[in-house]
Structure 1
Amino acid sequence: MGYRRTDDQVGIRNYLGIIAVMDNSNPVVRSLESLLNGAVAICPGYGRGQIGEDFILHRRTVVGLGSNPNVGACLVISLEPNSAKEIADGIAKSGKPVEILTLQEDGGFIGVLEKGLRIGQELIFKISAQQREPIGFNELVLGVECGGSDATSGISSNPAVGLVSDWLVDNEGTVIMSEPTEWIGAEHILMRRARSEEVAQEIKKCTEKYINIAKTQGLDFLKNNPTMDNIKGGLSTIEDKALGAIRKGGTRIIEGLLSYGESPKGNGLFLMDAPAAAVENLTAIAAGGASLILFSTGRSNPIGFPIVPIIKVSGNRNTVKFMKSDIDVDVSEVMVGSSDLEWARNQILAILNSVINGQMTKNEILKNVEMSVSRIGESI
């Protein structure tokens, strides 16, 4: 059961998104969130003093977050009207209600807070009247992510998530997998699965881009794994990590490579070019239209995301025991041989179906959520 939007997207949550266009609007946006039941603050940071491609990426991502199908309406808040209108106009193309307030034109912090409460109340009153209705899995856009990986990730949780990915693609749904630095050393496997030679070369170029970025800072990805908790968990090289990480994307044909925050055009499995750090990567996938994300973890990364439920899956028995409040699906029986990956897939699908129908994930309940739009340039 989900929420059908006028642009044919399907959401599984129905939030009022209160968007800070720039970071000087974050405080009032967070205050409004705390006072309005059903509102979620979208505070990506920065947004002022950015230029060129860096600013284009930021703006596109913020519009994508406001257009996410889990958002039923938006209140866009900025320092001044021009920037607010630019973001609001982009979101309005999705067909959802959008209102604007600005600190300079609407009475500063207190003025925006007062007006925002009145506008927010009306928008929530309106969108909360929308009822859930039956949806097909072919209408779902699922993100797959991994973080805090260890040796158990590539043996249990990642391949189990990959089986869910395959199942959804086989049912004409859509899957987005990102984290290109975690393809390094296994990119040839992904290239063999590409829909065309053009897509294969895009995957290769994307991987090489991150290798070269690292080299400019004196890091050779091909000789080490720069993430210390991965090493402690048994993944000593980037190739070790990659061979496990790509399994969360399953085995189906790769339809294309998306840019940061870009929405897929059609169904199937898509890769996305976005930094691997969890908060940045979740932000990019959410901006690309994912309504739900499966997050495989070994040593655990408990972070969630404000507008998209994140289902945490772990095959590490110690993590499941000591970080129970952060893990939604325990597939550790695979590691001890008492159950197989098919069983693990079914465990994930059961929780996935419940979350689609309204069950809250553990990070949603705790409000353990964050977002951050990646930077590709310096501020001026």
Structure 2
Amino acid sequence: MTTRPAADRHRSTSSRHYAVVGAGIAGVACARTLVQAGHRVTVFEREATAGGRMASESTAFGKFDSGAQYFTVRDPRFARALELAPQLCKPWSANLVRVLDPHGRVAEAALPALEPHWVAQPGMDALVTAWAAPLGDSLVTDTRVTHIEADTLDARRWQLRTSGAGDSQHVYSGFDAVLLAVPPGRARALLGDGKLSAALSEKIEAVRIAPCWTLMIAFPQANQPTLSHLGPQWNAARSTHHRVAWLARESSKPGRDRIERWTLQASAAWSQEHLRDDAARVAAKLLRAFAEITGIRAEPSHVQARCWPEAQTQVPVGTPHLWDAKRRLGVAGDWCIGHRVEDAFLSGLTLALEVA
């Protein structure tokens, strides 16, 4: 008979309680994996629903994907996870073009996609929402974690201080480990800028991630019997306009309302320059850029701007996740290895597999 080391015996027989901060795709993938391994998990999300940057904005004119616009599938583990809900995601024939100058002139009418572009329906948030559903009451929404500290009743564990609706404050205790699935700036703050784990904070400090302003506009007047849509024949473009990096006709995505809607994502440099501007000022500037690129000069019936302070990774950590076994603190997010939706999923998955 073989005797396992004490640590291994504990791992195989004990169910632990994990706190996961952030219910984007990384946090939900991490939490689901831990639950499947037999552990107890409490997930804290400051927004009203799960999703993170897989966000969709509901309006009177239909949904807008204000964060991730689509995703690709390269890793078999991500592919297997998606197969569990085969009707939830559909390929998007984006008719992708590349805009090469500020006035919308393109080198080619259409560039073939190197790999399928996938979207969840009826919005990108539907994928994370579906994956989070089995967590039930273990997902605590509208709750912002403000501090991580040693449990007052058991110094071997952690407790979290939180704030919620109406400035309500609560303390959640008894966690064997805390796993952060939040943007790098938020992760550094929760780690006390190194006080809780100098090793994790040092690695996060090297990350560079750019902000992104997003503009969402709707043209219901386009949906008339004699007019199917406004502007160009393409549905999505990468732009070199100094203000705009990406444009997409939301209404061209599968499972979406057919009212003509567009989403613009500003360039990293322009978003950084205008990071502190108010939304109305940003919307006006991006709307002018939209008209220059597409030729659409009609007045939209809906205009909404949203800023993502930490959106696209420029310098990642370089490893799928971070784990300080001594302190029992972990970090996951797309920014650990890149900026793609799949990167976030794999980061949450691999962190859970290491700590479980």
TM-score by structure 2 length?
0.25
Larger helix share, 1 or 2 = 1
TM-score by structure 1 length?
0.24
Higher gyration radius (CA) = 2
